[in-house]
Amino acid sequence: MEALVHNFFNLAIIAKVWPYLLQGLWVTIKLSLVVIPIGMLGGLVIAVLSSLRRRWLNVFLIAYVDFFRAFPPLVLLLFIYYGLPFLKIELPAITAVAIGFLLNNSSYYGEIFRAGIESVPRGQWEAARSTGVTWFQTMRLVVLPQAVRNVLPDLISNTMEVVKLTTLASVVAIPELLNAARNAQALTYNPTPIVLAALMYLALLWPIVRLISRLEHRTIAMR
Amino acid sequence: MDLDRLVFSFFNARVAAEAWPDIVKGFFVTLEVGLAVIATGLALGMALAMLRSFQVKLVNFVIIVFADVMRALPALAVIVILFFAFPYLGLPMSAFTATWLALSLVLAAFAEELFWAGIIAIPRGQWEAARSTGMTAWQTLAAVIVPQAVRLVVPPLTNRTIAITKGTALGSVVALSEILGASSSAASNLGNPTPLTLGAIAYLVLFIPFVWFGRWVETRFAWKR
């Protein structure tokens, strides 16, 4: 018990590393605020393009989505960060992370938005188009708002996964929460900082987990 | 961009020949961890969901807390805690065990939530009908409720399982020699990123069939809302 308190909940160490970890948490939040919109926007573009129903374009889009769903995001990130410099393309860590997250997340968000767009009945399209509204306006004003509402649980749940994935940035030395915690552990010879970081992730994401649970139960019960 | 440099860096036959055996070894490590995670994660998730349907207050509370915590924590953070923090409690773990255990717990949490959502979506009447034929509560659950519940949640569960199993690559952070670990150490030893290309191909060979299976499952089990 004493070992547990000393190593996992060491107050002296918590007091010491607290400001440093708080900084890490702030970087995690900022990083999320960068990569979430990028991934969503990429996914939206993929979904809208695939609803154009051009055969070859769709073959390409499905290949893209499947490729990045099969590819572990960490592999992608290391490929970009350590591989590209060999082609004389030197990217700052944050850019490498942004590109990796764009490629990986746009395919997940793309699938979600596509499912949403497909869930809107054909008649909605026809009704809108027959009033003289253009294809693009129909998509933007009639279809997408309903599509988003229909797949809201999946959107929120995927967004939480993206926040959790920002821990990968620690591998390319971006000082987000997990990276800060591991540095603090190395400096203090005590694992309390990683436990503290885990508690911070919990504080950040638990409310979202609860929300998702509630929404998911509703969707599955509706089937 | 210079084509020769691209070929030399990413498709270098000499480097590939040298790194190949390590990456094949890594491939089997990834396969082993991946299959172990799927087996333990899904089995534990199912066991917890079934346990939860007996509605014992304290048990349910513990299951809910477990599922919430494991869904909120990033998988990499769980691996790091198991590998770097647990030895301080006298529980040292190999990289393999830490990766397997962490991903199994995460998958179990998501699977439990999905199975549970499936179980409560089955109409009450199914329970009553089965019990009135003389089946025990346990038989009803195992033979009547669970098979229907599983069908409801197969599509989301497949996608979730693929996403978590891809997390085996995170094992490289604690120096597990799976595909990514093997290929990135080969890349730094040989001073050439070709092994990363091989690693990428190995992942695609392993996971593309899963992704296609997931697509098939989605259409096969699709329910019109």
* pLDDT beyond 60 at B224: no
Any idea which residue has 């009450």 for tokens?
Answer: B124
Of B10, B203, B210, the CB nearest to A83: B10
Answer whether B113 sits within 8 Å of A213, measured CB to CB.
yes
Provide, as residue numbers in chain A, all residues whose Cβ is less than 8 Å from the Cβ of B167: 72
HSE-CB for B124 with a 13 A CA cutoff: 0
- Phi/psi for B123 (5° steps) reads -60, 145
DSSP label at residue B120 = H
Q: Using CA of residue A92, residue A97, residue A102, residue A104, what is the dihedral sign?
A: positive
Rounded distance between C-alpha atoms, residue B30 and residue A5, angstroms: 35
Inter-axis angle of helices A192-222 and A152-165, to 10 degrees? 160
Scanning B179-198 for CB atoms below 8 A from A yields: 179-180, 184, 187, 192-193, 196
- Phi/psi for B55 (5° steps) reads 55, 40
Class of residue B121 by CB neighbours under 10 A (exposed 0-12, middle 13-18, buried 19+) = middle
Residue B37 forms contact with A (CB below 8 Å)? no
In angstroms, what CA-CA distances link B114 with B17, B37, B79, B193, B219?
A: 44, 17, 23, 40, 19
Question: pLDDT tens digits, residue range B72-107?
Answer: 999 999 999 999 999 999 999 999 999 999 999 999
Q: Using CA of residue A76, residue B100, residue A35, residue A169, what is the dihedral sign?
A: negative
Rounded distance between C-alpha atoms, residue B119 and residue A219, angstroms: 13
> Residue B113: closest CA among chain A residues belongs to which residue?
A213
Strands (E), A89-147: none
| Chain B: closest CA distance from residue A137 (Å) | 25
Task: Please choose, from the candidates B124, B44, B115, the residue with its C-alpha nearest in 3D space to the C-alpha of residue A220.
Answer: B115
Rounded distance between C-alpha atoms, residue A26 and residue A15, angstroms: 18
Provide, as residue numbers in chain A, all residues whose Cβ is less than 8 Å from the Cβ of B223: 223
Q: What is the CATH number of domain B15-221?
A: 1.10.3720.10
Residue B223 forms contact with A (CB below 8 Å)? yes
Name the 3-class secondary structure at A10.
coil
What ipTM was predicted for this assembly?
Answer: 0.90
Question: pLDDT tens digits, residue range B164-211?
Answer: 999 999 999 999 999 999 999 999 999 999 999 999 999 999 999 999
Scanning A106-165 for CB atoms below 8 A from B yields: 119, 150, 160-161, 164-165
| Chain A: closest CA distance from residue B128 (Å) | 19
| Chain A: closest CA distance from residue B222 (Å) | 10
Q: What are the structure tokens assigned to A207, written together?
A: 């409310």
Answer whether A71 sits within 8 Å of B207, measured CB to CB.
yes
> Residue B199: closest CA among chain A residues belongs to which residue?
A75
**How confident is the model over B18-38, as a mean pLDDT?**
95
Rounded distance between C-alpha atoms, residue A124 and residue B78, angstroms: 46
Residue A198 forms contact with B (CB below 8 Å)? yes
* pLDDT beyond 90 at B108: yes
Residue A87 and residue B9 in contact, taking contact as beta carbons nearer than 8 Å: yes
Question: pLDDT tens digits, residue range B132-172?
Answer: 999 999 999 999 999 999 988 888 899 899 999 999 999 99
Chain centroid, CA B42 distance in Å: 9
Which amino acid is residue B70, in one-letter code?
A: M
Domain ranges of chain B: 15-221
pLDDT computed for residue B225 by the predictor: 40
The total number of residues written for chain A in this structure: 223
DSSP, residue by residue, B34-97: HHHHHHHHHHHHHHHHHHHTT--HHHHHHHHHHHHHHHHS-HHHHHHIIIIIGGGGT----HHH
What is chain B's mean pLDDT, rounded? 92
Provide, as residue numbers in chain B, all residues whose Cβ is less than 8 Å from the Cβ of A190: 88
Residues 6+ apart with CB under 8 A from A207: none
| Chain A: closest CA distance from residue B142 (Å) | 20
Scanning B88-127 for CB atoms below 8 A from A yields: 88-90, 113-114, 117-118, 120-121
Of A66, A82, A202, the CB nearest to B73: A202
* pLDDT beyond 90 at B222: no
Residue A34 forms contact with B (CB below 8 Å)? no
Answer whether B166 sits within 8 Å of A194, measured CB to CB.
no
Mean pLDDT by 10 residues, chain A (223 residues): 86 93 97 97 96 93 94 93 88 94 96 94 93 93 94 94 96 94 94 96 96 81 63
Of A171, A201, A220, the CB nearest to B152: A220
Class of residue B75 by CB neighbours under 10 A (exposed 0-12, middle 13-18, buried 19+) = buried
**Other beta carbons within 10 Å of A155:** 19
Residue B111 and residue B42 in contact, taking contact as beta carbons nearer than 8 Å: yes
Class of residue B60 by CB neighbours under 10 A (exposed 0-12, middle 13-18, buried 19+) = middle
Scanning B122-151 for CB atoms below 8 A from A yields: none
Residue A215 forms contact with B (CB below 8 Å)? no
